[in-house]
């Protein structure tokens, strides 16, 4: 899902050269993914067979164009979401409840006030953020947060207008709550938000992890473990799919998700793609189609953290969608973005995935909705990458749990 700027980071501009790393990779075949072995070499947690060739451990690729990464800032506090403002600056959420603006050189604003309180325990907090397509004229921003409510806590969506001074958000309102609230811990909120091509909001919600709430991912009467599609006023969007079961919520777009922390629109097809945390194995990339069921917890390529099978231990079932790609062992995929810039042409329409436990950025080459190559970027930085976006300058910008803001661009 951008306050008068502080000059606390002004000295950092003198250090950027020492924070930059140039990477000049040897080319393989970035178009079809051949020529290199798979990037994953560790043993899988399971012996489950993929449903089709290339669904996991596809051949590796390497970027041929020389590129570099630059640490613009190391002063963020557990950043969670990042998005571009029309003027090239970046709007960033911090898990503890703050929102900040960063310039393209890494200077950070002070905290933006006016936001509702968040429950930042565990995986909760101030999560995904996006700006209105008409932000230049209406200055509206939208975000997801974990909210304390009667009966527990839940994934909620709010909106407000960024003041002209950029110090506060005005006229804030909570426009949507993913019911039911759950008092079962502080995990699996989902939390990404973006605009689709029709001007409606797409939001990912988690199933809250607990064995008591896990089955709600399959229930159309609950908003947990879903992708929902709503208007900017929080109402079900026109044209949403119809789920035939009794009591189906009209805001539902897809069901059967575990903990989806990444959403992105394909720049050519306009389709929604999603990244999803699996349990022990079974992290997924999905091409999300309206009305579809993505299977959790009935089918999965992972197992329980204890080592036991999940449900009946099956990976395929009629009426449930297969992931386009999955990882075992996990990389913990969080934010994702498609590259649609011209700075590095071979990245065009590739999907970039921020990996937490994997501590790298994944580049997936995709042809006709099939992953044909995988690359790991910035693996030497030893950072838990939380979110990634493309800037107005065609560079990629990524934030990490450790508080860093990276810029990735052509050398």
- Length reported for the chain: 411
Over its C-alpha atoms, the chain yields an Rg (Å, rounded) of: 20
Identify whether 257 is a catalytic site residue: no
CA 292/CA 294 separation, integer angstroms: 6
Contact 387, 78 (CB under 8 A): no
Q: Please tell me which residue in 188, 257, 277, 360 is annotated as part of the active site.
A: 188
Closest to 226 in 3D by CA, of 189, 200, 197? 189
Contact 190, 155 (CB under 8 A): yes
Contact 368, 86 (CB under 8 A): no
DSSP one-letter string for 160-181: EEE-TTSSBEEEEEEEEE-SSP
Strand runs labelled E in 266-332: 272-277, 283-288, 325-327
At 392 the three-state DSSP class reads: coil
CA 229/CA 224 separation, integer angstroms: 13
Burial class of residue 85 (count of CB atoms within 10 Å of its CB; 0-12, 13-18, 19+): buried
CA 81/CA 1 separation, integer angstroms: 7
Contact 390, 337 (CB under 8 A): yes
Closest to 325 in 3D by CA, of 269, 387, 367, 360? 367
Contact 173, 159 (CB under 8 A): yes
Query: In sequence order, what are the residues at sequence separation of 6 or more whose Cβ sits closer than 8 angstroms to the Cβ of residue 134?
Result: 140
Closest to 80 in 3D by CA, of 155, 17, 177? 155
Handedness of CA 140, 142, 145, 147 (dihedral sign): positive
Query: In sequence order, what are the residues at sequence separation of 6 or more whose Cβ sits closer than 8 angstroms to the Cβ of residue 82?
Result: 90, 91, 92, 93, 129, 335, 387, 388, 389, 397, 398, 399, 405
Q: Which residues are catalytic?
A: 188
């Amino acid at each position: 899902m951008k306050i008068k700027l502080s000059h606390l980071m002004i000295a950092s501009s003198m250090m950027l050269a020492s924070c930059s790393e140039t990477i000049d990779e040897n080319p393989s075949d970035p178009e079809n993914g051949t020529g290199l072995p798979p990037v994953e070499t560790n043993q899988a947690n399971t012996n489950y067979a993929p449903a089709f060739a290339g669904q996991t451990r596809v051949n590796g690729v390497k970027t041929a164009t020389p590129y570099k990464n630059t640490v613009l800032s190391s002063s963020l506090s557990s950043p969670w979401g990042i998005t571009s403002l029309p003027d090239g600056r970046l709007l960033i959420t911090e898990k503890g409840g703050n929102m900040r603006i960063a310039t393209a050189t890494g200077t950070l604003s002070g905290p933006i006030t006016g936001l509702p309180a968040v429950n930042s325990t565990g995986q909760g907090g101030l999560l995904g953020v996006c700006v209105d397509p008409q932000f230049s004229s209406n200055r509206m921003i939208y975000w997801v947060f974990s909210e304390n409510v009667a009966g527990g806590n839940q994934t909620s969506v709010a909106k407000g207008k960024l003041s002209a001074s950029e110090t506060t958000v005005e006229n804030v309102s909570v426009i949507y709550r993913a019911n039911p609230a759950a008092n079962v811990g502080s995990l699996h909120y989902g939390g990404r938000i973006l605009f689709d091509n029709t001007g409606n909001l797409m939001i990912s919600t988690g199933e809250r992890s607990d064995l008591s709430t896990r089955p709600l991912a399959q229930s159309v009467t609950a908003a947990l473990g879903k992708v929902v599609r709503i208007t900017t006023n929080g109402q079900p969007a026109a044209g949403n799919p119809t789920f035939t079961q009794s009591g189906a919520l009209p805001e539902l777009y897809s069901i059967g998700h575990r903990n989806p922390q990444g959403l992105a629109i394909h720049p050519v097809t306009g389709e929604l793609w999603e990244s999803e945390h699996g349990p022990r194995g079974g992290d997924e990339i999905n091409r999300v189609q309206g009305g579809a069921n993505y299977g959790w917890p009935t089918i999965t390529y992972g197992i329980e953290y204890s080592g036991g099978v999940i449900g009946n231990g099956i990976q395929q079932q009629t009426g449930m969608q297969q992931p386009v790609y999955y990882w075992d062992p996990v990389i913990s995929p969080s934010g994702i973005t498609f590259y649609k810039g011209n700075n590095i042409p071979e990245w065009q329409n590739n999907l970039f995935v921020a990996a937490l436990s994997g501590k790298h950025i994944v580049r997936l080459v995709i042809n006709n909705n099939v992953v044909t190559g995988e690359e790991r970027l910035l693996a030497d930085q030893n950072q838990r990458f939380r979110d990634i976006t493309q800037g107005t300058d065609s560079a990629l910008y990524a934030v990490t749990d450790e508080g860093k803001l990276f810029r990735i661009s052509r050398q």
